[in-house]
Structure 1
Amino acid sequence: MKVSVIVPVFNTEDYVKDCIKSIQDQSHYDIEIIVVDDGSVDKSMVYVKELANEDPRIKIVELSEQSGVGYARNVGIEHAAGAYLYFVDSDDVIHHHAIKTLIDHVDENDAIISGSISTIRSLDEMDQFVQNEVPKIKVRKTSSIYTSRTVQKVLYSRTFVEDNDIKFLENTKMYSDYAFVYDVISLQPYTKYTRDSRYFRRKRNDLIQNPNIEETSYYEKCLNYFDMYLTLEPRYRENDAMKYRLDVDLMNFYRKTFLNYMREQDDFDQVFRRLSEVFNQLSHRVYKKQNPLVKREIKAIQELNQYRFVKLIRSHHLLSDLKRSVTKRTNLKKFIYNRVFQRMSVKPDYIVFESFMGKGYSCNPKAIYEYMYKLHPEYKFIWVNNGNHLSIPDNPKQVKRYSLAYYYYMARSKYWVFNTRLPKHVKKRDETVYLQTWHGTPLKRLGLDIEEVQMPGTDTGRYKKNFTQESSRWDYLISPNQYSSEIFKRAFDFNNQLLEFGYPRNDILYQASQSYIDQIKKKAGIPVNKKVVLYAPTWRDNQFIEKGKYSFELPLNLDHFREELSDEYVLVLRLHYLVANQLDLTGYEDFAYDLSAFDDIAELYLISDILVTDYSSVFFDYANLKRPILFYTYDLDDYKGKIRGLYFDIESEVPSPLLMTSEEVIDAIQNIEDINERYQAKYDEFYQRFCSWEDGEAAENVVKTVFGKEA
């Protein structure tokens, strides 16, 4: 039996080829693929036409303008010749046996048969789906298979659809499925169901440039839902069961979407008028099931009493937040933060500093603080720690991250100085000035430039969306060089003020004396008479054990290193904090030093004579010292191709040879003078490109600009 697979397409060039191919590859071959072009302006239809040239089963219907997914699907039904219909969104895919499993178990009298839906981030996840050799078929209430009110995963008899004139809504951008689904539920109370026919809904990797419909604003969602309701309600007014279902869905939408919209309150007047029209059609049967507070809200809505409704909704939100707050201590602190601290006045002389989520006293926040506390003691300085007290000069106030004191000072401080992102629930007030210092020159791709995030449990699209929402809060962003400025603006979608002074944390590289450097060596327990090789590799996004846990294996032959170099050198290792606790140097105490927990890596730069790194941005900062840098890139092909991707060609642009084995690193250290001479011109060019803004006065320039303070 032929199946007509209907695929509306609008601007899904990153996904549509995978979608169509998954349909072409169905084990049930007797299909036609009806692609309805809903006015795409990207390359979507170019790809579809290329596939259609090789597969006569693909039929293309071109609409003259974008008309919405509901209209496109209705057009697809009109062009369908198959005995059954199956709907696929052009950014999704289906399992190889999805259609065959349904066709093999549908009877002549069956109007529909349903499979199941899973959400995936990448196509690789499809392989994890295991289908039973003999599919399990159950009979369920039709309403129970449509919990999300979408038509995907279900095989429909075309005769059933056409004879009952079942169509999608065409007057709404969203919720067009509801008309189709409600009609099916009303006409077909029970249906066959199997988990063994799998439809895969794909998560989009870029919700900024290429958002899905779920990213639509609450305002748009509300207006579209109300239009859908007002269109369908007269149809089911005399059908008690369907009217009840329609109104129950309305109240669920009111609680989950409209009440969240009310926290934003944009364009409230128009939405409120539409809501009043809707709630004046609400059945008494559903109304009487609501709690007393919601009943009062409904009455205010029906009477268009906006003033009374706003007062009620504030009480509703307060009670909801209070109810959540008593479930656990974290929620209680957030409640106090939002309901109490956020309503207190902002203190114009309070400054909160945080470095790497409170893990240490370091980086750009440290450099700015040290400039300010010496020259501007009139400010109250607050440092965030992660529970371990930090050793900080002048003994400023310290608060533990996410403690009640943390929320108090975050709400009341005029200035925030941070070098990593803040969690979404920490709200920036209009009076607050957020100085984002960042923490390096980008070598690996950042933010919107990452194609697919490899970190476990991280959705790429949501990651990018959250990143840009965070960067929109930054009033100032420090940049170390022109190269970084161009990347920051694009990758962070940053449109506020860039501070192009170099990094304050690098000021010390121009100011430190030899006696200061010797003091650091003594502090670290390193012999003053030994030269230092600093090994500071990056971490690999994809080397994880599970979410929040990463694996690491030291790629250096320590026995060989000690044998060849220990007369002249010691080895200092500085690993990323995510893997630092996996380093074991037992037996090498006289030669190798684990200084991963050393607060300020700039001090490690100062004591080192040679830096060995890979794809870490540390070499950009280290180049300010004009000391030798060696690149140990043993996994270059894998890193640049499969992990996060690099911004420039490391094979041609770094001022040093790329070394692939531990032995090559040793040989390079032993012949470092020859390498220096051979790469001098390239090093000078590199320094000019990435370090020319640095002059030892970045902290002073930042403070002048952000705080309006002279030295």
Structure 2
Amino acid sequence: MPRFSIIVPCFKVQGFLRECLDSVLEQSYRDLEVIAVDDRSPDGCGAILDEYAALDDRVRVLHLPENAGLGRARNAGLPHASGDYLFFLDSDDTLTPGALRAMSDRLDEAADPDVLVFDYARTYWWGGTRRNALAHVLADCGDATFTAAEHPEILDLLMVVWNKVYRRDFVTENEFRFPPGYYEDTPWTFPVMLSARRIATLDRICLNYRQRRQGNILSTTSRKHFDIHDQYERVFAFVDSRPELAGWRPYLHRKMGDHCLDILAKPDRLPPSDRGEFFRRTAELFARHRPAGEPVPTELRVLQGPYAAYVAWRQGTRAGRELARRAAQARGAAAERVRRGVSVVQSRRPLDPRLVVYSAFSHRGVLGDPGAVYRKAREIAPQLRGVWVVRDEETADRLPDGVEHVLLDSPAYRRVTARAGFFVNNVNWPGTLAKRPGSVHVHTHQGTPLKHMAADLLDRPGARHGVDVPQMLRRADRWDHSLVANPHSELVWERAYPCHFTSARTGSPRNDVLVNADAQAGPLARARLGIPADHTVVLYAPTRREYVRGGHVDRIDLARFAAGLGEGHTLVVRLHPSLATGHARGMGLSDLHRRGIVVDATDVPDVEDVMLAADVLVTDYSALMFDYALLDRPIVVHADDWAAYAASRGTYFDITAEPPGHVSRSYEELAGLMASGSWRDEESARLRAAFRERFCVFDDGRAAERVVRTLLLGEEMTGPATVRVPAPAVPGDVLASR
């Protein structure tokens, strides 16, 4: 008996079917059967299914004698299913790598619940990917099983059949089946979810929900949309047959009204001549099933009047939105005039030489190099007033006690930026900020550059997608000082930003904590991350890719990598900041962290803490390696796609030819390095020493103090003890002037 019976109904999807089947049959988890139902498809679906069945005995094909429709095609597959769990997969969607293994592990952990709800991502025909906006619900429901009554928010998720797997015995006992017609998921999903006594969730993207440019039947204009009324009649009939579910009637009544009005509001669903009839049938259904004594929500009261009133309401709503838009424009124009007036007044006041305005990572808090400079200024120059710019109140609430701040674009922001003598940032300031004569802008950057930046992106159209290089350079024209940690960075920044700043050989202030770390720094950092003190800690820090939309590519199977490290090891993962809020973590990282298989350190505010905790860094092309080298601990460069990365992004030198440690070009090579212990051998130390000599020359542990004393206070201070400029780190063609 297999663990999963995957039922795949097929109709006119020959262009997508192979990708769907491959995503299932190529899963690392093999305990499954596929019941593919050819719903009398007029294209090549039947032949494709027969081809797969001939090659893989896990595939069984049913050829229906006539077209039955999606729901009844699923029903046709049910009697042939023998697995513990049923999974209804639409034939134009795909499973993500590792999805079935994650589902099976979660089912085992939850002791075989009736239903497991997992996450998905919408994948658009033009290449975009967007995670389910309500993904947090899956995590919020916790690790224990529950009922819908205990966590009703589970019903806020998309009520479809394919984001769940169902215990087959539970389905059989309750005789659940799909009805004919459109919206067949509605009378399946509500009865199933309301009847389930044990529901579990999996906070992992297991399915890519294809958003086709054309072909979605629910986006076509047809009278078949009237089927929604019969489907809700079936839902109410089911609830009536189960007295214990009577308390759900008010919820379902509201849901039905919202659902039908949503269909009516979309102009591509119903022919204009049918819209009045659809409204009247909806109103009748709404009245017939209204629970006694229940008030009608304000937004659904329109269903208690005539169709003409609904039309007037819709037109009024559109008119209201247009009026609101025009009013907002007028308010914005008036506010801009006020802002300009305030700016003029403030610009006539003298600069405050003791006022320093800070920001980091687009106003995300006291972080990075600006954070290190701020802390050192409070220590050695308390006469300086430091004010942080933050993007919103939520960010402000997370600031340490005693940190003065202003919200971006607020009146207070305009006042302090108009009068500040100094600005410190690792990202360019907004274009609206005008640099006053006499003010000093210190730009810290975000690390040593390996990949092309700024003006060097002009010949990399893919890498500069969405990047306005001329605007970036106009903003960089405000810089007075550019902090550098090594001669390589100095050469790159002066070329990539052809502006009138002075390179300041200060070192990187945020890295002082790495240079000055004592024997207790690592254990204390591990304790903060909840890692056993005696474990060997492997930090995996991948960067983003420009050759794929969204930037995320799974280069390593994290569960496999963690298991291969063995007992006494902890795998810590830190994603690139640009991937922290996208779908990357939902591809398995969040679930592995929940289960204690890896530690997800992406949200740890100070990356220096994560580096201090690690015994070895495994990265691809992340700038983190230049900082980590300061700890003089082993580094492994996993460069399995170096050619593609270098071609798409552009790099200043070949990190595989001049690495800080061993280089792996496949997972097998990486696993071998880790298993053999050669990641910390003499060759690794030799490569790291050469790398440190080249890229760690200005970091002496006093970078923050040097910035405060020399750039903010105007004092003199000696530079790093040894400043020896090696051969240029940038190839000659890069150094050549444009």
Q: TM-score, normalization: structure 2?
A: 0.49
Alignment of 1:630 with 2:670, yes or no, is: no
For 2:667 and 2:713, the matched residues in 1 are separated by 50
- Spell out, residue by residue over 1:67-117, the C-alpha distance to the aligned partner (whole angstroms, 9 max, x if none): xxxxxxxxxxxxxxxxxxxxxxxxxxxxxxxxxxxxxxxxxxxxxxxxxxx
Alignment of 1:407 with 2:414, yes or no, is: yes
2:354 corresponds in structure 1 to 349
User: Could you tell me how far 1:407 is from its partner in structure 2?
Assistant: 2.2
User: Could you tell me how far 1:507 is from its partner in structure 2?
Assistant: 0.8
| 2:479 and 2:500 in contact (8 A); partners too | no
Structural mapping, 1:129-528, within 5 Å? 326-327=331-332, 331=336, 334-336=339-341, 338-387=343-392, 388-389=395-396, 391-393=398-400, 395-450=402-457, 451-454=459-462, 458=466, 463-528=468-533
1:251 corresponds in structure 2 to none
Change (3 A) 1:560 1:333: farther
For 1:427 and 1:366, the matched residues in 2 are separated by 23
Structure 1 counterpart of 2:620, one-letter code: D
User: Could you tell me how far 1:325 is from its partner in structure 2?
Assistant: 6.9
User: Could you tell me how far 1:337 is from its partner in structure 2?
Assistant: 5.2
Select the residue among 674, 693, 696 that pairs with 2:698: 693
1:97 corresponds in structure 2 to none
Change (3 A) 1:506 1:587: closer
Change (3 A) 1:678 1:362: same
1:533 corresponds in structure 2 to 538
User: Could you tell me how far 1:653 is from its partner in structure 2?
Assistant: 0.9
1:652 corresponds in structure 2 to 657
Change (3 A) 1:678 1:330: farther
Alignment of 1:599 with 2:595, yes or no, is: no
| 1:534 and 1:574 in contact (8 A); partners too | yes
| 2:629 and 2:660 in contact (8 A); partners too | no
Structure 1 counterpart of 2:371, one-letter code: K
For 1:470 and 1:672, the matched residues in 2 are separated by 47
For 2:604 and 2:400, the matched residues in 1 are separated by 16
User: Could you tell me how far 1:609 is from its partner in structure 2?
Assistant: 0.7
User: Could you tell me how far 1:612 is from its partner in structure 2?
Assistant: 1.1
Structure 2: runs of 5+ lacking an equivalent: 1-125, 127-326, 718-738
Structure 2 counterpart of 1:559, one-letter code: A
User: Could you tell me how far 1:478 is from its partner in structure 2?
Assistant: 0.3
- Spell out, residue by residue over 1:364-393, the C-alpha distance to the aligned partner (whole angstroms, 9 max, x if none): 111111111011111211112222126555
Structure 2 counterpart of 1:685, one-letter code: A
Change (3 A) 1:332 1:533: farther
Change (3 A) 1:403 1:558: same
User: Could you tell me how far 1:577 is from its partner in structure 2?
Assistant: 2.2
1:28 corresponds in structure 2 to none
User: Could you tell me how far 1:693 is from its partner in structure 2?
Assistant: 1.6
| 2:620 and 2:639 in contact (8 A); partners too | yes
Change (3 A) 1:326 1:485: same
2:180 corresponds in structure 1 to none
For 2:713 and 2:572, the matched residues in 1 are separated by 40
Aligned residues: 382
User: Could you tell me how far 1:334 is from its partner in structure 2?
Assistant: 4.4
Structure 1 counterpart of 2:606, one-letter code: D
Structure 2 counterpart of 1:474, one-letter code: W
For 2:627 and 2:380, the matched residues in 1 are separated by 26
Structural mapping, 1:114-125, within 5 Å? none
User: Could you tell me how far 1:354 is from its partner in structure 2?
Assistant: 0.7
Alignment of 1:614 with 2:620, yes or no, is: yes
- 2:681 aligns to what SS in structure 1? helix
User: Could you tell me how far 1:587 is from its partner in structure 2?
Assistant: 4.1
Change (3 A) 1:372 1:390: farther
User: Could you tell me how far 1:687 is from its partner in structure 2?
Assistant: 0.8
- Spell out, residue by residue over 1:350-374, the C-alpha distance to the aligned partner (whole angstroms, 9 max, x if none): 1111111112322111111111101
Change (3 A) 1:676 1:464: same
| 1:651 and 1:658 in contact (8 A); partners too | yes
User: Could you tell me how far 1:445 is from its partner in structure 2?
Assistant: 0.7
Structure 1: runs of 5+ lacking an equivalent: 1-124, 126-321, 545-549
Change (3 A) 1:687 1:390: farther
For 1:558 and 1:573, the matched residues in 2 are separated by 9
- Spell out, residue by residue over 1:157-178, the C-alpha distance to the aligned partner (whole angstroms, 9 max, x if none): xxxxxxxxxxxxxxxxxxxxxx
- 1:578 aligns to what SS in structure 2? helix
Structure 2 counterpart of 1:458, one-letter code: G
For 1:358 and 1:372, the matched residues in 2 are separated by 19
| 1:333 and 1:404 in contact (8 A); partners too | no
1:219 corresponds in structure 2 to none
For 1:512 and 1:457, the matched residues in 2 are separated by 39
For 1:516 and 1:657, the matched residues in 2 are separated by 26
- Spell out, residue by residue over 1:667-688, the C-alpha distance to the aligned partner (whole angstroms, 9 max, x if none): 2222334653123322211111
Structure 2 counterpart of 1:413, one-letter code: A
2:683 corresponds in structure 1 to 678
- Spell out, residue by residue over 1:412-470, the C-alpha distance to the aligned partner (whole angstroms, 9 max, x if none): 211100011122221111121101111111100111112134368636xxx23222222
For 1:672 and 1:330, the matched residues in 2 are separated by 63
Structural mapping, 1:21-60, within 5 Å? none
In terms of mean alpha carbon deviation, does 350-359 or 330-339 score higher? 330-339
| 2:365 and 2:399 in contact (8 A); partners too | no
2:10 corresponds in structure 1 to none
Change (3 A) 1:591 1:360: farther
- 2:652 aligns to what SS in structure 1? coil
Select the residue among 584, 591, 595 that pairs with 1:586: 591
For 2:445 and 2:377, the matched residues in 1 are separated by 19
Structure 2 counterpart of 1:574, one-letter code: R
| 2:536 and 2:570 in contact (8 A); partners too | yes
Change (3 A) 1:329 1:509: farther
- 2:591 aligns to what SS in structure 1? coil
User: Could you tell me how far 1:639 is from its partner in structure 2?
Assistant: 0.9
For 1:528 and 1:551, the matched residues in 2 are separated by 34
- 1:357 aligns to what SS in structure 2? coil
Runs of 4+ in 1 over 4 A off after TM superposition: 322-325, 390-394
Alignment of 1:706 with 2:720, yes or no, is: no
For 2:629 and 2:338, the matched residues in 1 are separated by 44
Structure 2 counterpart of 1:558, one-letter code: L
Query: RMSD value over aligned CA atoms?
Result: 2.6
| 1:501 and 1:698 in contact (8 A); partners too | yes
Structure 2 counterpart of 1:528, one-letter code: A
In terms of mean alpha carbon deviation, does 593-602 or 338-347 score higher? 338-347
Change (3 A) 1:404 1:520: farther
In terms of mean alpha carbon deviation, does 674-683 or 327-336 score higher? 327-336
For 1:333 and 1:680, the matched residues in 2 are separated by 61
Structure 2 counterpart of 1:565, one-letter code: L
Over the matched positions of the two proteins, sequence identity in percent amounts to 29
For 2:569 and 2:475, the matched residues in 1 are separated by 44
Structure 1 counterpart of 2:444, one-letter code: T
